[in-house]
Amino acid sequence: MSRGLNKVMIIGHLGRDPEMRYTPSGRPVTNFNVATSHSWNTSDGERRTETEWFNIVAWGNLAEICNQYLKKGQQVYIEGRLQTRKWEDEDGNRRSSVEVVAKEMVMLGNRKRAEGDAGSDVEALDDNFFDEDEDEFPF
């Protein structure tokens, strides 16, 4: 029996505030994007930086936490798996998108205490708090 591995770990900054919605059965799902940067020096000594954007989707309790505590520009660690989503657009064209299905999220960087921010309460959440089943899609 062969085994596979599909695990992604990203540290980056949110490009926009998270957007949460609910599936027809009432399950919360939150989408946001995270930018990572990679820098290197060319053979001419010129410094180059490249930014990669990742679409993130979180389900269940993790979706609610991401929606409540994450904001545009905030640094975050996301751990999850890659998933390709396929659909047909209004014109009948086949489309696909690769996204990271988040299993774990940790807020990083400077903490700016906003009014009503629970701060350290989020750090206390363990892996058992988050839903394991991510098979339901809101599309």
**Is residue 67 within 8 Å of residue 76, measured between CB atoms?**
no
| Interval 80-97 mean pLDDT | 94
**Is residue 79 within 8 Å of residue 131, measured between CB atoms?**
no
pLDDT at 62: 97
* Average model confidence (pLDDT) across the chain: 83
- 15 phi and psi angles, rounded to 5 deg: -85, -20
Kindly list the structural domains of the chain, giving each domain's residue range(s) and its CATH number in brackets, ordered by start: 8-121 (2.40.50.140)
| Interval 110-134 mean pLDDT | 41
Greater confidence (55 vs 130) lies with 55
> pTM of the full predicted structure?
0.73
